Structure 1
Amino acid sequence: MKHAASVLVVDDSAATREVLERNIRAEGHRVSTAQDVAEALQHLGQADFDLVVTDLRMPGADGMELVRHVRDHCRGTGVIMVTGFATVHGAVSAMQDGADDYLSKPFSDDELRDSLRKALEKAALRRAFDADQPIDAPDGMIGSSPPMHRVYRLIGKASGAAVPVLISGESGTGKELVARAIHYRGPRAASPFLAVNCAAIPETLIESELFGHRKGAFTGATGERQGFFAAADGGTLFLDEVAELTPVAQAKLLRVLQEGTVQAVGSDEPRGVDVRIVAATNKDLEESVRVGSFREDLLFRLNVLPIEVPPLRDRGDDVVMLLKAFLHEAARQCAMDPPELTNEAIDAMRRYPWPGNVRELQNIVQRLVVFADAGVIDTVDLPAVMRYVSRGAHAPGGGLIGSDRPLREIEAAHIRAVLERVGGNKTKAAAILGIDRKSLRSKLKPDDNARALTDGSSD
């Protein structure tokens, strides 16, 4: 159901006020009216409004003064400037002074409806940006969207259980945060929590790293190693990117889950361990089972309590909450005051699809804080693709990447733009996107990889 907003219409023409009031009420909103700025200020002092629709030219104080008052004293209120004296200069001045949109008389019902929607949406973003962090987000997690509330409920259920948990979600969504929340809210909180990125361990060493090895078990094994399972005894072992485990390591992990024992490389004696397994993946493990790269019996053992972490693009105004938190943290690390973001910059970041998710947002905010000019971040300071997606414009190299295109195409265009900016260096591109190199390779189409190679790209 559409939210009924409270709107203040300000115009010295009774006929214009009547037309605006009738059309805005037809959209389901509540409307108050004022014939000049002085009367409008009285209304604003007595009640909260979601939106002000004001004429530019009025006797006495003009609409620009009202725009500046709303900007300085009613940040959560949107403003639409309406005028019959349409000039480029007037539009620019109104937007610079804080108006959210600009309408030129005469305007159609559709134009008014679209302007109302955009202005109310921008005002809602500012309110979300200024809102306090909700109290029900566990262990430093940020977000109040319905998808995240579901994650919080599942964390609560998982923390009190002893069964394995499988966390799924795209790279950069915060799967390790979920795993830590499960551990530190449960009975094992005082015991070790160890995180292992299975994709980062060389295939030849993964068994030794996980299960340990005896001295002389292989060339280079000059001493004994206990392995992550033994080190996490009594606590929780978080296996990130579990789909990258070798077939032998998968078989040994299955034995741990079935029997509660591990066997070090080069040892004939199994060792009992009490370890809670929380695994994570950004891959479709059911598809991996179908193609034979992941054991079906292991998937059944791991997937007792599944938790899916939503991508940032599905989390609504959580983007704004995360943005605020990352701004303050980055500013604290730089020993400086947090820079301010213009409404347009906030709106652009809200609309961007974030292929690298929360990690990409945090990385971008850190760079923005370092390079913020005069303590203000505007759209011109944002990565180019963010501005193009926001406006539905053409990206460098051609091609519309606006919101009317499928997400995968927008994501691919962004990845290609980043690769081009770093000369094809996949390691740098992955760091900018906030994903690992394996995830970057999986997101690139075969022709993208071929093009990168022929263009002389490097790793």
Structure 2
Amino acid sequence: MLQKENILLVDDDINILELLQRHLQSMNYHTYKAVSVKEALHVMKDTFIDLLITDIQMPEIDGLQLLKFADEHYPELPKLVITGYPSVDGALEVIKSGAIDYLTKPFTKEELRQAVEKAFEHGESRKTKTINKGGTQKFVNINNEMIGESEAFQKITDVIERVKDNKATVLVKGESGTGKELVARAIHYSGKFSRSPFVAVNCGAIPENLLEAELFGYVKGAFTGANDNRDGFFQAAQGGTLFLDEIGTAPLSVQTKLLRVLQEKELTKVGSRKTEAVDIRVIAATNSDLQQDIKDHKFREDLYYRLTVVEIEVPPLRERKSDIPLLVDKFLRKYGVEYKDRLLKMTPDALEVLKRYDWPGNIRELENVIQRAVIMSNGVITVKELPDTLKFKIDFPQTSFPSLKQMEKEYIQRVLLHTQGNKTKAAEILQIDRKTLREKLK
């Protein structure tokens, strides 16, 4: 059965929303409604949207702000505007903000149909285009999570482009907080399997004695408490992607069964002898050294090679600092709308502090800092709103530092050079008397 396209409708007029919904549902589209930009952003974050239809005149944050946000963070998403205040200048502003077309209220059902079909046709043509801003390629995934322009980031996006449309097993490596799950989601949602399930499992968060049953399912009576037959995460992800985070924490018994699933494309539920075929892509992630775990007999070597058909190394934030301004802008938009109902800015000095810091907690730490700064800010975020640990933990150059006495000597020499040897003028500049200056010159 052909799946319906998802259309997000944004308007503060409930009557218009209901009218649009009735028309579009009769055309076999699936719709989501939002009465504000803030509500729309929540829907866009959690739901795959094929078309955005928005009004312009709305309280607090208007539709133009939403269009600009969507154009930057969802560049392949077609956008259609409905407005009751048409004008030449308004139309130009709408098109500049990334909309494909706009409808003037009131409009007929047929006019709506034609505009929607045009938007979808235009959206398909845009999918083949490269995203460029300021001459630098920038990648944003379908869920508005991954963003960057650094060379390290581009290497990741290149691999994502190569693997997104096949079901090769992928291992994502990187420190905690670097965004390994975001890479997995980007692979899934940017490829041809995006309409299929994406199931994320944190292997380290499930007790060892339950992990096997949770992954592969179980039958009634398999163990105490197994009162019914139950599918596992593999069955839930059928046809799509299963993301296994912290794979290094999985016990050896689960690793053995996982290896068989990857090799044979079939599994056996706990307590059953019947095998079931599975058709999924597995993406695993780890922040530990699996090769050392192999030496320590904690991880199966054959499973390691089965998982690393494609390997992606996600660099820490300290190695991609040119991405910090983009990430900051993203989090400012996210939490500005959530907490302040508006879009916030940051001063250059505050941004410079963020760029100097080494971010041991990576992107997760940066997001927490921005979240706190937005809460503490009354408007523009300055250095004052940043934590003291960032302001004073600065990486100084690895050079020798002159003593205070040496610096004083060099400064007095500079002043004397400026006054051409005039000690009276030099003493005035230094704000000391001539006797003190003579003593220092000795």
Q: What TM-score, normalized to structure 2?
A: 0.57
Partner of 1:412: none
What whole-Å deviation, never above 9, does each CA across 1:255-274 have from its counterpart, x for those lacking one? 00110111111111121111
Partner of 1:338: 343
Establish whether residue 376 from structure 1 lines up as the match of residue 380 from structure 2.
yes
Q: Give the superposition deviation at 1:309.
A: 0.9
Partner of 1:451: none
Residue of 155, 158, 165 corresponding to 1:153: 158
Establish whether residue 144 from structure 1 lines up as the match of residue 149 from structure 2.
yes
Q: Give the superposition deviation at 1:342.
A: 2.5
Q: In structure 2, what is the Cα distance between the partners aligned to 1:327 and 1:404?
A: 33
Conserved 8 A contact 2:213-2:270: yes
Establish whether residue 281 from structure 1 lines up as the match of residue 276 from structure 2.
no
SS of the aligned residue for 2:260 comes to helix
Q: Give the superposition deviation at 1:363.
A: 1.5
What whole-Å deviation, never above 9, does each CA across 1:282-329 have from its counterpart, x for those lacking one? 111111111111000000000010011111111122011100110011
Q: Give the superposition deviation at 1:403.
A: 6.3
Amino acid at match of 2:358: P
Q: In structure 1, what is the Cα distance between the partners aligned to 2:240 and 2:345?
A: 42
Partner of 2:306: 301
Partner of 2:389: 385
Residue of 221, 229, 237 corresponding to 2:234: 229
SS of the aligned residue for 1:377 comes to coil
Conserved 8 A contact 2:188-2:194: yes
Residue of 175, 189, 204 corresponding to 2:194: 189
Partner of 2:171: 166
Conserved 8 A contact 1:133-1:321: no
Call closer, same or farther: CA 1:354–1:162 in 2, change over 3 Å.
same
RMSD: 2.0
Q: In structure 2, what is the Cα distance between the partners aligned to 1:187 and 1:136?
A: 18
Q: In structure 2, what is the Cα distance between the partners aligned to 1:343 and 1:187?
A: 41
Q: In structure 1, what is the Cα distance between the partners aligned to 2:388 and 2:221?
A: 55
Count matched residues: 265
Amino acid at match of 1:255: R
Call closer, same or farther: CA 1:131–1:403 in 2, change over 3 Å.
farther
Conserved 8 A contact 1:137-1:144: no
Q: In structure 2, what is the Cα distance between the partners aligned to 1:148 and 1:342?
A: 25
Establish whether residue 180 from structure 1 lines up as the match of residue 185 from structure 2.
yes
Q: In structure 1, what is the Cα distance between the partners aligned to 2:136 and 2:327?
A: 9
Amino acid at match of 1:165: V
Q: In structure 1, what is the Cα distance between the partners aligned to 2:199 and 2:221?
A: 26
Q: In structure 1, what is the Cα distance between the partners aligned to 2:136 and 2:340?
A: 22
Conserved 8 A contact 1:213-1:267: yes
Q: Give the superposition deviation at 1:364.
A: 1.4
Partner of 1:10: none
What whole-Å deviation, never above 9, does each CA across 1:60-89 have from its counterpart, x for those lacking one? xxxxxxxxxxxxxxxxxxxxxxxxxxxxxx
Q: In structure 1, what is the Cα distance between the partners aligned to 2:134 and 2:227?
A: 56
Q: In structure 1, what is the Cα distance between the partners aligned to 2:207 and 2:263?
A: 26
Partner of 1:206: 211
What whole-Å deviation, never above 9, does each CA across 1:164-220 have from its counterpart, x for those lacking one? 011111111111111111112223222111111111111111001100011121111
Q: In structure 2, what is the Cα distance between the partners aligned to 1:134 and 1:332?
A: 27
Q: In structure 2, what is the Cα distance between the partners aligned to 1:284 and 1:155?
A: 22
Q: Give the superposition deviation at 1:138.
A: 3.4
Call closer, same or farther: CA 1:275–1:137 in 2, change over 3 Å.
same
Partner of 2:95: none
The answer for unaligned runs of 5 or more in structure 2 is: 1-132, 400-442
Q: Give the superposition deviation at 1:150.
A: 0.3
Q: In structure 1, what is the Cα distance between the partners aligned to 2:137 and 2:321?
A: 15
SS of the aligned residue for 1:288 comes to helix
Structural mapping, 1:43-122, within 5 Å: none
Call closer, same or farther: CA 1:404–1:290 in 2, change over 3 Å.
farther
Q: Give the superposition deviation at 1:223.
A: 1.7
Taking every aligned residue pair, what percent have the same amino acid on both sides? Answer: 46
Partner of 1:348: 353
The answer for unaligned runs of 5 or more in structure 1 is: 1-129, 393-401, 406-459
Amino acid at match of 2:383: T
Q: Which structure has the larger Rg?
A: 2
Q: In structure 2, what is the Cα distance between the partners aligned to 1:276 and 1:260?
A: 10
Q: Give the superposition deviation at 1:404.
A: 4.8
Conserved 8 A contact 1:133-1:142: no
Partner of 1:39: none
Conserved 8 A contact 1:168-1:281: yes
SS of the aligned residue for 1:161 comes to coil
What whole-Å deviation, never above 9, does each CA across 1:411-458 have from its counterpart, x for those lacking one? xxxxxxxxxxxxxxxxxxxxxxxxxxxxxxxxxxxxxxxxxxxxxxxx
Conserved 8 A contact 2:139-2:147: no
Q: In structure 2, what is the Cα distance between the partners aligned to 1:131 and 1:269?
A: 57
Amino acid at match of 1:216: G
Residue of 321, 324, 329 corresponding to 2:334: 329
Conserved 8 A contact 2:147-2:326: yes
What whole-Å deviation, never above 9, does each CA across 1:23-63 have from its counterpart, x for those lacking one? xxxxxxxxxxxxxxxxxxxxxxxxxxxxxxxxxxxxxxxxx
Partner of 2:257: 252
Q: In structure 1, what is the Cα distance between the partners aligned to 2:136 and 2:198?
A: 26
Conserved 8 A contact 2:138-2:147: no
Conserved 8 A contact 1:137-1:152: no
